[in-house]
Amino acid sequence: KADLPVYTLHEVSEHSTKEKRIWVTYKEGVYDITDFVTEHPGGDQILLAAGSSVEPFWLLYAVHNNPHVLQILETLRIGNVSKEDSQQLVADMSDPYSTDPQRHAALKPASVKPFNAETPPFLLVEQFITPNELFYVRNHLPVPQVDPETYELEVEVEGRKKCLVLTLDEIKKLPRHTITATIMCAGNRRSEMVKVKPVKGLNWGAAAVGTATWTGVRLRDVLIKLGVDEDDKKLKHVQFEGLDFDPTGKTYGASVPLWKAMSKRGDVILAYEMNGEAIPRDHGFPIRVIVPGVVGARNVKWLGRIVVSENESDSHWQQNDYKGFSPSTDWDTVDFTKSPAIQELPVISAICKPSEGEKVKVEDGHIVVKGYAWSGGGQKIARVDVTADGGSTWFVANLDHQDSAEPPQHWSWTLWSARIPIPSGTKQVELWAKAVDSCYNTQPETFKNIWNLRGVLSNAYHRIKIKLV
């Protein structure tokens, strides 16, 4: 194998069609699978890896965990992955995004610069944990290049001299803590709200969400080390600054209330691992704060500085974005000082399989519907209801995968499925799903009355139309 040619990940990515030949990577190997596609026992799905790595899919489909599969793959080997490749090292000064990492081809971008992309929805329900390479990405700015050897995290209390400066090694020496948490963008499912009336924002489907295990140190431990007293009446917020910045030098920032950061049960961590690996560059390498139960926007990536303060972060994203408003508020009347910054997200669910417009085979008079449900603030999903007849009959879904943690520390989603009877001869149905959380909060029926100008908190019943065969 050593004498085979070396290819960059970029070169591999250019081979994603039959005409150009279909290449994939597995560990350090490059493979031409064009002629194997029609023989693949798993069918066309193999094309999801075209131009990229097969590894995240093999985490989802364990049938590949078999020497026989690797034998087939080795017969298709054409080269090796270039070592320097995982990051483009030469920056193009005219393009601040030129040093962004290579992404998996299955992540379909909603915007490229900055990079924003969601997971194909049906893959979300294959497994409780979302593989790192398929986890949705929400970046506002270019991905910073951080050298782990020289990285330092500053932690301070506003107006006080004493401050902590921690290297990555020093952070890793503090007691480790692992949690499983779902992270969701405030704009998840915005594309459905838009149908009521246009909004400003990326057109997210239902997959701007994912679940991972996160390992790091408790923020509480670091703040206690700094001498923060949680009963100090003056200190109310913990501000986070990212190392990503805009052309004027302003960094991404957000804050959370001090009580959450200091609470033993809050589980806020400074994470350095995602699903057992160093956090990938797109998700905040080397350190990101995980604020479980709280909107994605406060889970600041590439963390550079933490400030305990009387005030919330003054960043654009805390003050003038990620807030909810009345359906009658428009861009002429909106006053961002009048709404609180979103923290805990409301209960939500979505159908991930089948997808809108899909032809579904009725078997034994039934179809199977799968999806996720989640609620912010550490609430657990108590029930998911699904209807195929506009709510005349509701079927209670089976909660297939649910973490055993009790509320208010239930940070992860629930994967559910429902077997829905279909009267014979039915040609198409509209499926609706809604979830109920452990506070008995449930989803609103329609988007009309929760519409808001930024298209956030888009959690009405999920509805999809499918065809039956």
3-state secondary structure of 279: coil
Q: Judged by CB under 6 A, which stretch of 45-53, 132-140, 171-179, 312-320 contacts ligand HEM?
A: 45-53
**Interacting residue with ligand HEM among 19, 41, 147, 340 (CB under 6 A):** 41
**Interacting residue with ligand MTE among 137, 238, 348, 431 (CB under 6 A):** 137
Shortest CA distance to 28 belongs to which of 75, 69, 86?
86
Other CB atoms within a 10 A radius of the CB of residue 246 amount to: 13
**Interacting residue with ligand MTE among 33, 81, 271, 297 (CB under 6 A):** 297
Instruction: Please report whether residue 77 would count as binding ligand MTE according to CB under 6 A.
Output: no
Judged by beta carbon distances under 5 to 8 A according to partner kind, the member of ligand HEM, ligand MTE, none in contact with residue 297 is ligand MTE
Answer yes or no: 64 catalytic. Answer: yes
Residue whose CB is less far from ligand HEM, 23 or 461? 23
Residue whose CB is less far from ligand HEM, 56 or 187? 56
Residue from 151, 185, 189, 298 carrying the catalytic annotation: 185
CB 265 within 8 A of CB 409: yes
Residue whose CB is less far from ligand MTE, 300 or 373? 300
- Give the residue nearest to ligand HEM (CB): 42
Question: What token pair was written down for 159?
Answer: 């107006």
62: amino acid identity, one letter: A
Answer yes or no: 40 catalytic. Answer: yes
Other CB atoms within a 10 A radius of the CB of residue 77 amount to: 14
What strands lie across the sheet with 116-118, from one edge to the other? 108-111, 116-118, 137-138
Answer yes or no: 163 catalytic. Answer: no
Instruction: Please report whether residue 242 would count as binding ligand MTE according to CB under 6 A.
Output: yes
Q: 337-364 in b/e burial notation, b at 16+ Cβ within 10 A?
A: eeeebbbebbbbbbbbbbeeeeebebee
Q: Judged by CB under 6 A, which stretch of 136-144, 199-207, 340-348, 408-416 contacts ligand MTE?
A: 136-144
359-360 and 462-468 strand pairing: parallel
CA atoms within 13 A on the CB side of 106: 26
**Interacting residue with ligand MTE among 128, 136, 272, 285 (CB under 6 A):** 136
CB 34 within 8 A of CB 46: no
Answer yes or no: 283 catalytic. Answer: no
Q: Judged by CB under 6 A, which stretch of 53-61, 94-102, 139-147, 414-422 contacts ligand HEM?
A: 53-61
**Interacting residue with ligand MTE among 12, 185, 348, 431 (CB under 6 A):** 185
Q: Judged by CB under 6 A, which stretch of 20-28, 58-66, 297-305, 459-467 contacts ligand MTE?
A: 297-305
Phi-psi domain of 268 (left: phi exceeds 0; alpha: psi -120 through 50; beta: other): beta
Instruction: Please report whether residue 78 would count as binding ligand HEM according to CB under 6 A.
Output: no
State the minimum distance, in angstroms, from the CB of residue 256 to ligand MTE: 12
Question: What token pair was written down for 467?
Answer: 């065809």
Shortest CA distance to 176 belongs to which of 218, 130, 140?
218
State the minimum distance, in angstroms, from the CB of residue 18 to ligand MTE: 32
Q: Judged by CB under 6 A, which stretch of 66-74, 147-155, 319-327, 361-369 contacts ligand HEM?
A: 66-74
- 45/125 Cα distance (integer angstroms): 15
Residue whose CB is less far from ligand HEM, 102 or 239? 102
CB 189 within 8 A of CB 204: yes
**Interacting residue with ligand MTE among 110, 125, 183, 271 (CB under 6 A):** 183
3-state secondary structure of 449: coil
Task: Name every residue whose Cβ is closer than 8 Å to that of residue 96 and which is 6 or more positions away in sequence.
Answer: 142, 247
CB 290 within 8 A of CB 256: no
152-157 and 303-309 strand pairing: parallel
Per-residue string for binding with ligand HEM, 243-282, x by CB under 6 A?
A: ----------------------------------------
Answer yes or no: 185 catalytic. Answer: yes
Phi/psi at 464 (nearest 5 deg)? -135, 145
Question: What token pair was written down for 97?
Answer: 């995004």
Instruction: Please report whether residue 63 would count as binding ligand HEM according to CB under 6 A.
Output: yes
- 287/251 Cα distance (integer angstroms): 15
Per-residue string for binding with ligand MTE, 141-180, x by CB under 6 A?
A: x---------------------------------------
Residue whose CB is less far from ligand MTE, 59 or 431? 59
Q: Residues in the site for ligand MTE, rule: CB under 6 A?
A: 135-141, 183, 185, 242, 244, 252, 282-283, 296-297, 299-302
Q: Residues in the site for ligand HEM, rule: CB under 6 A?
A: 24, 33, 40-42, 45-46, 48-49, 54, 57, 61, 63-64, 66, 69, 72-73
